[in-house]
Structure 1
C-alpha cells in the first residue's frame, strides 16, 4: 500500500500536463501512487499520459467526458494510500509538498483534511488561507478558503465520513464539500507555500464564472439556513459584496453592511453555529475590505 495516493483528473490540459505530472513524480516523498484520470481529452493529453513510464502511475481513460465530479469520485474509490492528495493537471506542486503535508497530518491526528499556502505568480506574494478549523469554518461562509488542488485527506476519514463530491454543485464541488464537512470533519491549512496555482484563461473560474457564482450562492444560502435565515436577493447581494471585499466607501453602504453583520451575529448568538468572536472578526475584515491573505 503506498503512503500517499494522488488523484489528478485531466481534461484537455496538454500544455501544462507534463509539468504537473513531473512535480508529483519528483517529490521528496516517493512512496506514492499517481492516479491520472483522463476524462475524454481531445487535445493530445491522452497521448502524453500513455507515454508516462513510471510504475507508480495508474492510468484511467474515459472514452467520453464524464465531468470532474465523476473523475474525482472514481479517484477516491481507487485510492489505496494512507493519505489521499489532490492535484490539478495545470498546477505545479513544490517538490516537498507531500512530505510536508504528510508530516503535518502525522503530527495532528485529529485533522481530517488539510490544504496549503500557494502562489499564483512565481515572483508574487504567498497566499495563506486561515489555518485552524474554527477560522476555516467561518471564512467558508465568504469564500473557498481551502485550495482544492493542494488538499490532502486521511483515507480513514474518507471512509468514516463517506466523503464524495456532489454533482449537484457544478464548478464549486470543492466549496460545497468543505462546507458540508465543516461540522463533521476537522479542517486545517498548512502555513507554507507548497503550490503554484497557475492562472490561465482555461480555468473553470474563467470559463464558467456565472455557473460557479450561482452554485456558490446556493452553498452560502444553505449555510446561512443553519442560522435560521433565508436571504432575499437584496440581502444576498450584501452578503456577496462582503464576501468579495467590494463594499462601497459611502456611509450608506457601511451602514447597510454593519446592520447585516449585526443581524448575522445576533442569529449566531442564538444558534451557536460558528465561533462568535471569529465570525465578528471576519465580518469586520469584510466590511473594512481587509482579506485574510
Structure 2
C-alpha cells in the first residue's frame, strides 16, 4: 500500500486541472496514489483526466454530478495510504510538498492533521496560518485558518473517529470539520509555503460566497453554544466586524460595543473553558487592533 493517498476532486476545471495533477505527479516523494474523481464535468475535464497513464493514478468518473461533499467522502473511503493528502483541481503543490508533510507527520505522531502556509500566486507573498494546536483551535472561532487543499491527515484517525465531511454545511465543509475535530485531535500548520492557491472568478469562495457566509455563521454559533452563548443578529454582526477587522477605534459607540461583546465572550469562556483564555483574549485584541496573525 502507498504511504499517502492524494484525493483530488474535479468539476469543470479544464483550464487548470492538468497543471494541478502534474504538480502531484512530479513530487520528489513518489510513494503515493492519486485518486482523481471527476464529478460529472461538462467542460472536457473528464477527457483530459482519461488520457493520464501514470500507474499511481486511480480515475473515477461520476455521471451526473454528486457534489463536492459526496466526492470527498468517496475519496476518504477509497484511500489506502497511511496519510490522506488533499488537493484541489485549480491549485499547484510545490514539488517537495509530500516529502515535507510526510516527514513532519512521521516525526510527530501526536499530530493527526497538518496544514501549511500558501501563496495566492507564484512569487507572491506567503500567507501564514497559526502554527500550534491551541492557536488554531482558538482562531477557528473566527474563521477557517487551515487551508483545505494544503492538508495532510492521518488515515488511522479518520477510521478511528469515523470521520466524514458533513453535507449540512455547504461550501464550508472543511471549516465545519476542523471545528468538529479540534477538541479530539492535535493539529498543526507548517510555516512553509507548500501550495499555490489559485484565485479566479470560478472558484467556490466567489461563486457561492453568500451561502458560504451563512454556513460559516452557523458553524461559529455552534462553537459559541459550547460557551453557553446564543448570538442575536446584532451580536453576530459585532462578531463579523471584529473578525473582519472592521471595528473603528475612532467611533466611540462602535468601539465600546465591540469591547462589551468581547468581555461577554471572555466571561463565558471562564465559566465554560472551551478555549485557552489567554489566546482567545489575544485573538480578539489582534482583530480589534487590526493586527493579523
TM surpasses 0.5: yes
Shift of 1:121: 2.0
In the alignment, which residue of structure 2 is the partner of 1:270? 271
Partner residue, 1:51: 51
Larger CA deviation: 4-13 vs 119-128: 119-128
Greater Cα shift, 9-18 or 250-259? 250-259
Work out the CA distance in 2 between the residues paired with 1:226 and 1:242. Answer: 20
Aligned to 2:121: 121
User: Is 1:241–2:241 an aligned residue pair?
Assistant: yes
Report the equivalent of 1:4.
4
The Cα shift of 1:248 comes to: 2.5
1-side partners of 2:14 and 2:287: how far apart?
Answer: 38
SS at match of 1:210: helix
Give the corresponding residue for 1:195.
195
What secondary structure is seen at the aligned counterpart in 1 of 2:16? helix
Query: How many angstroms does 1:246 deviate by?
Result: 1.7
Matched residue, 2:26: 26
Cα displacement string for residues 146-202 of structure 1 (whole angstroms, at most 9, x for unaligned residues): 000001000101111111100000000000000011111111101100000000000
Counterpart residue number, 1:281: 282
What is the rounded CA distance, in whole Å, between the counterparts of 1:123 and 1:37 in structure 2?
30
- Aligned-pair CA distance for 1:240: 1.1
Can you give the 5+ residue segments of structure 2 that lack an aligned partner in the other structure?
Answer: none
| 2:291 counterpart residue number | 290
Distance 1:59 1:243 in 2: 40
- In structure 1, C-alpha distance between the alignment counterparts of 2:85 and 2:242, rounded to whole Å: 31
Partner of 1:154 in structure 2?
A: 154
For 1:141, the equivalent position in structure 2 comes to: 141
Name the counterpart of 2:64. 64
Identify the range of structure 1 (161-170 vs 242-251) with the bigger mean alpha-carbon deviation: 242-251
TM-score w.r.t. the length of structure 2 is: 0.99
TM-score by length of 1: 0.99
The answer for the alignment partner of 1:76 in structure 2 is: 76
User: How far apart are residue 255 of structure 1 and its match?
Assistant: 1.0
**Alignment partner of 2:24: what SS?**
helix
Partner of 2:37: 37
Question: Quick one: distance in 2 between partners of 1:246 and 1:22?
Answer: 40
2-structure distance, mates of 1:18, 1:163: 29
Name the CA distance, whole Å, in 2 between partners of 1:196 and 1:25. 16
How far off its partner does 1:112 sit?
0.6
Pairwise CA RMSD? 0.7
The CA distance in 2 between the partners of 1:241 and 1:33, in whole Å, is 43
User: Following superposition, which runs of at least 4 residues in structure 1 exceed 4 angstroms of deviation?
Assistant: none
Equivalenced residues, count: 292
Residues 58-108 of structure 1 show CA distances to partners (whole Å, capped at 9, x for unaligned) of 000001100000000000000000100000000000000011000111111
Partner of 1:106: 106
Separation (CA, whole Å) in 1 of partners of 2:253 and 2:124: 35
Identify the residue that residue 166 of structure 1 maps to in structure 2: 166
In structure 2, the partner of 1:228 is 228
In 1: Cα distance, 2:82 partner to 2:121 partner: 32
Unaligned 5+ residue runs, structure 1?
none
Aligned to 1:290, the other structure's residue is in SS state coil
| 1:131 match: secondary structure | coil
